Amino acid sequence: MAQGKVRAILHVDMDAFFVSVELLTRPELAGKQVIVGHPGERSVVLSASYECRALGVKSAMPMAVAMRMAPHAVVIPPTHGLYSAYSARIMEIFHQVTPLVEQLSVDEAFLDVTGSIRRLGPPEEIGEMIRARLRTELGLPASVGIAASKFVAKVASTRAKPDGMLVIRPEQTLAYLHTLPVGALWGVGAKTALVLREMGITTVAQLAQTPQNTLSRRLGATGIHLYNLAWGRDDRSVETEREEKSIGAEETFAIDIWDDEALRREILHLGHRVATRLREAEKVAGVVALKLRYSDFSTLSRSRTLPFPSNAAGDLVSAAEGLFEKLGQRPQAVRLVGIRAEKLADAGGGMQLSIDPRDDNWRQTEATMDLIRSRFPAGALRPASLLERGQKEKKSDQSS
């Protein structure tokens, strides 16, 4: 991009994506209260229609709480494969507009359309064209924010919802930002907002007029970050490739568990799931983290660095089991257990061979298991100790 040329960044965010996809086959539910999620009390809301959101229902809210807020809502179990298929089609449309697409999740992305203006017209015309294609080709609504930076484009799309578009031109940026509450800034969570309120700062304009050294003393590097955002400073480019920072899996039990043996078996199960996903991504992990959530929803996390990066289930499980044993006696029953592989590296360059031939045998065995699973995906193989696992409510596989 030529020096001094103003960028045109779009943030496209699908509206209530999971709900919108489900309504494609349930048009009679359009305009009604709809929640996507498992109906069990231990579930969380994956997505809610705007009719439910008006009542206070939010994503990640416990289903029991959501149903108290919207007792007449229709609950639809998620269809993850369908969401992935539509996500791929959405991203294909984006890539037909510009090669500079940074996918943030299944339903949102940044697009740098600076180089597409000569071919497709002004940014606002490109934004409307994208929204029209999503609606006519896929039947899905989307909101678009347009600005000269990623941060401001994201702010604009949030305020364009639902099913709208907001353009914030470069010369309008500061005037617009300074009308917003300070919570609109990236990095202002509950704790930071509390500190800012104690300082008498509730708006972006007030934060922008606060000396940097004052913000730095109270908030450290976060204070400087927020100060720059308050002045519209965000030079980050659209990244066309995003490295996964971690790969994990977790399980929420239908009934809280005290039994150590059941928890160890779940750790073994999750370790194999995470290892399989690492190998599919051609990654190795340098760190393994274990997460436990207790009956009162308090959460504990511990991590351990591996002797060498690995994607072998035995290495992941061994580290997680070591963390589990180190915790000692648990204060409460466990409602959720999770394993996460962190500090990822490419498998080709990060794998260290073991001098123990048994390790190579296990790696070869796991590679064979991966091949069989790819041909028989309905759970053809699993460790023998998992054959008698009880039925539990599946919640989530996560990667970030």
Any known ligand binding at 163? no
- 292-295-296-298 Cα dihedral, nearest 10 degrees: 0
Contacts of 238 (CB under 8 A, 6+ apart): 9, 100, 101, 102, 110, 111, 112, 150
Q: Is 13 annotated as a binding residue?
A: yes
3-state DSSP call for residue 316? helix
CB-side neighbour CA atoms (13 Å) of 256: 13
15, 43, 53, 134 from 33: Cα distances, Å: 15, 18, 9, 23
In this structure, the number of other CB atoms found within 10 A of the CB of residue 379 comes to 8
Q: Residue 364 corresponds to which tokens in the numbers above? A: 């070869």
Distance CA 236, CA 154 (A): 13
CA pair distance 155, 219, nearest whole angstrom: 22
How far, in Å, are 45, 113, 340, 387 from residue 292 at the CA level? Answer: 20, 44, 12, 23
CA distances from residue 73 to 30, 58, 395 in whole angstroms, order as listed? 12, 13, 21
Q: Is 108 a catalytic residue?
A: yes
Active-site entry in 22, 102, 108, 250 = 108
Distance of alpha carbon 233 from alpha carbon 151, whole angstroms? 9
Q: What does the alpha-carbon distance between residue 57 and residue 47 come to, in Å, rounded to a whole number? A: 9
Please report how many Cα atoms fall inside a 13 Å half-sphere around the Cα of residue 46, on the Cβ side: 23
What whole-number distance in Å separates Cα of residue 293 and Cα of residue 301? 9
Supply the residues annotated as catalytic.
Answer: 108
Q: Residues within the annotated binding site for Mg(2+)?
A: 13, 107
